[in-house]
Structure 1
Amino acid sequence: MELRDRIDKILGKTLILIMSIMVINVLWQVFSRYFLGEPSSFTDELARYLMIWVGVLGAAYVSGKNKHVAIDVLPSKLSEKTQEKLKLIVKILIILFCLFALVIGGSRLVYITYVLQQYSPALQMPLAAVYMVLPISGILIIYYKISDILKNK
């Protein structure tokens, strides 16, 4: 579990860093708009991209901590053995979703935007860098769920 703890720590610090940059960015936007009278041109776009990274990486972090939202009406009415089987099925479905939607689909999106050389309007950064969070998060969630499955056995 040492690797998982290190990943959790790195991911947590990364999320803190991104949120800190986001706060500074928004504060600069407010300052430049109301005190300087000329709003900064890049802050809105940067805040949007940082929010994407925080949301998607945050989902991976919460998934690793098993603190995500879950509806437990059905499982609570089942026997303990059946609950364990249902949890395993749910973890396998999460792995499959992350593999196909986030890792494969996200990688294709990154590749397409890279090949087409799409850049953001204000920051002029490659949109592939923004979308890279999808496969990264998918790999992290898959790792966490496989780790959870192996831990239960």
Structure 2
Amino acid sequence: MVHTLRKYVRITDYINKGVGWLLFAMLAVMSILIFWQVFARFVAGNSLAFSEEASRFLMIWLVLLGAAYSIKEGSLIAIDILQSKLKGNAQKTVKLIMSIIACVFYVILIINGFEIAQSVSFQTAPTTGLSMFWPMLALPVGGILMFVNTTAVLVEDFIGKGEQ
């Protein structure tokens, strides 16, 4: 059982490595698009039509994937005053309860995110012509990754980091 849980954590580490590189690439593309938009508007006097919309869609994906990535890295913002005041089993219990509540939210995000993505799939963005399904797909994908990473963090906390 412990071996299987450690394998799960290892798989999430590989997934997060890929997500980290994807975040890097998306941030680079978004930065280039925004820089070019500013340059084109103020220097050339004619801005690109698609860059603002594409940057907005990239930002949606960056926020949701970045939040999932941050959960595993332990760098997601949190109010942990109660957890930091407790020790031992009480601290683990509070962390477990908070993680369960978060996972319930992620399941709601996944279910409703898929429904939203499907309900707007017939709409297209005005300048890029992209189906609105793709930007909205960030909701369930981010929710899935958040759920996976939260459970991996819980596994690490309860069975120990150990040899991976």
Output the TM-score relative to the length of structure 1: 0.92
> Is 2:53 the counterpart of 1:82?
no
Query: Which SS does the other structure have where 2:44 is aligned?
Result: coil
**Matched residue type, 1:95:** C
**Matched residue type, 1:52:** I
> Is 2:88 the counterpart of 1:111?
no
Query: Which SS does the other structure have where 2:125 is aligned?
Result: coil
Equivalent-residue separation in structure 2 for 1:76 and 1:55 (angstroms): 27
Equivalent-residue separation in structure 1 for 2:150 and 2:94 (angstroms): 14
Aligned to 1:95: 103
Equivalent-residue separation in structure 1 for 2:125 and 2:54 (angstroms): 10
**Aligned pairs (5 A) from 1:53-68:** 53-68=61-76
Instruction: Indicate the larger mover: 23-32 or 129-138.
Output: 23-32
Deviation at 1:39, TM superposition (A): 1.0
Equivalent-residue separation in structure 2 for 1:134 and 1:59 (angstroms): 11
> Is 2:24 the counterpart of 1:16?
yes
Does structure 1 conserve the Cα–Cα contact (< 8 Å) formed by 2:26 and 2:62? yes
Please give the root-mean-square deviation of Cα atoms over the aligned residues, in Å: 1.3
Higher RCO (Cα < 8 Å, 6 or more apart): 2
Output the TM-score relative to the length of structure 2: 0.86
Aligned length: 150
Equivalent-residue separation in structure 2 for 1:37 and 1:75 (angstroms): 54
Aligned to 2:77: 69
The change in CA–CA distance for 1:34 and 1:79 in structure 2 (over 3 A counts) is closer
> Is 2:130 the counterpart of 1:125?
yes
**Matched residue type, 1:135:** P
Task: Flag structure 1 segments of 5+ consecutive residues without an equivalent.
Answer: none
Deviation at 1:97, TM superposition (A): 0.4
Query: Which SS does the other structure have where 1:70 is aligned?
Result: coil
**Matched residue type, 1:112:** S
Task: Flag structure 2 segments of 5+ consecutive residues without an equivalent.
Answer: 1-8, 160-164
1:139 to 135, 144, 157: 144
Deviation at 1:76, TM superposition (A): 2.9
Cα shift readout 1:81-129 (whole Å, capped 9, x = no counterpart): 11110000111111110001x2001000011011xx1111111100110
Does structure 1 conserve the Cα–Cα contact (< 8 Å) formed by 2:72 and 2:149? yes
